[in-house]
Structure formats: C-alpha cells, structure tokens
Amino acid sequence: MQTQSLWEHALTFFPQFRATLRERVAPDATVAVVGASDGKFVLPLAAAGYRVIAIERDALALHGGEVHLPGDNHAPARGLIDRLKLEELHGRVRVVEDDFLQGEPLNIPCDAIWTSCSWHYSANHHRPLAEFVDRMQRLVRPGGLFGAEFMMPVEKRHDLVEHYTSPERLRHHFIGDWDVLLTLRTNEFTERAHIGRLQDHTHRMGLFLAARTSPLPHSHGKKDS
C-alpha cells in the first residue's frame, strides 16, 4: 500500500477473519465493513479481490483532514475515499456514508460482514448492543460469515455498559440460524497512545466469528437477491 491507516499498528484479530473468509466464501465475494474508518480493513479486502461495502458516518475518516495526535501534534490525514483513489481500489468499494444504527436497517445482502471495536464507542450506546448485532446479522446471506472484534471490560465502570461484552455474552445472539466458528480473547495489555486516545491505555479484546446456516425468518424461503 502506498498509504497507511492511522490505525495501522493497533492490535487486531483481522488475520483470523481473513483466513476464515478465504475458507468459506468466493474470492470475489461481497464483504461489508461496519465502521470502515480510513480503510485499515477495507483496502486490504479490496486489494485481495473482494467487493467491499464500507459503512462509515465520520466525515474526517471518509474525507480526511487535520487530526490530533499523541504529543499534542496536529497533522493532515488522508480519508478513506482519497486512499481508495490513490491505491486505485475505488472501483471495488461502495462507500455508504451513514449512521449504521439510524433509520431502517440497510438492505445490502453480503457474503460476510466485519466490524472492529465499533460498538463500544459511547456514540453507539444510545441503542442496545443487540440491535447492533441484529443489524449486522441481517446483512449476511445464508452460508455467509459474521466477524467482530470488540473491547472487553477492564475497569469496573465497563461492567455497567453492555457494549463492553465477551464471547460468552454474545453467544445468545447466535442461537438457531448460526454456527459459532471461533472465539478468542486477549489478556489485559497496554496499547500505546494513538488518535482518539492520546495516552497509553489498557485493553482486553475479544473475537467472535459465526456462519449463517439458514435464511432469515422473514424471507419465507425466498433466495436473497
């Protein structure tokens, strides 16, 4: 890649998602990324040949601008749209500039969906975690893949917020039409300061991968278009 994401060095379970994607879906499958940011996951997926739907509401992440970095530094940063053009990948990516939790759920059937540490942000706490998960699930075709990495509770205050969850708590959202493929978690670790968190901080992260095994209940057996 000629360009680099502001989140390039943040810890991620994305390689496990990519490996499962290669095993379970076609090389040119459609993959949605919820909370696409500046393209840390979107660009590698597009470069690998997937058709990508990038869902993001933050104008700075999409269009670029000045960002506040550790050390009280400010610097210009490229947004997703600019990075896609520079990497000549814009033809493989559909950008949806929208709030994933507002309005009617998106009607964009996909072969796989991925989100990274998005639902724990306070901006998403106005809706139940179950709604975020359900909206993601509804985009996945039968046989498709659901992938999410997320922050787990570290501090006592996190235990009061359902959006800091765990693989065990997520399982009850995946009963019936889903097979849970893989769950992982980290111990507590210290992450270096980065955009949005300008001091070193402590995290625990989890991974949840599942596959849809049957059509959505409301589809009445009709194949998704």
Residue 195 to residue 82: CA distance in whole angstroms:
19
SS3 121: coil
SS3 100: coil
Residue 135 to residue 97: CA distance in whole angstroms:
16
With bands split at pLDDT 50, 70 and 90, how would you rate the model's confidence at 166? very high
Confidence (pLDDT) at 179: 97
- pLDDT at residue 137 is higher than 90: yes
Q: Is residue 100 part of a domain?
A: yes
Count up the domains in the chain and report the number.
1
Higher pLDDT, 21 or 199: 21
Say how many C-beta atoms besides its own lie within 10 A of residue 88's C-beta: 11
Q: Is residue 19 part of a domain?
A: yes
Q: Is residue 102 part of a domain?
A: yes
Q: Is residue 20 part of a domain?
A: yes
Q: What is the pLDDT of residues 83-135, one digit of tens each?
A: 999 999 999 999 999 999 998 888 899 999 999 999 988 888 889 999 999 99
Report the CATH number that the domain containing residue 209 is assigned in CATH: 3.40.50.150
Q: Which residue has the tokens 């879906």?
A: 25
Using a pLDDT cut of 90, give the percent of the chain over it.
Answer: 67
Average pLDDT for 58-66? 93
* Residue 193, domain extent: 14-215
Q: Is residue 224 part of a domain?
A: no
Provide the sign of the torsion angle of the four alpha carbons 60, 62, 63, 64, taken in this order. Answer: positive
Q: Is residue 117 part of a domain?
A: yes
Q: Is residue 76 part of a domain?
A: yes
Residue 62 to residue 90: CA distance in whole angstroms:
13
Confidence (pLDDT) at 22: 96
Min mean pLDDT across 57-61, 174-178, 196-200, 217-221 is at 217-221
pTM of the model: 0.90
Q: Is residue 9 part of a domain?
A: no
Q: Which of 50, 29, 12, 2 is nearest to 184 (CA)?
A: 12
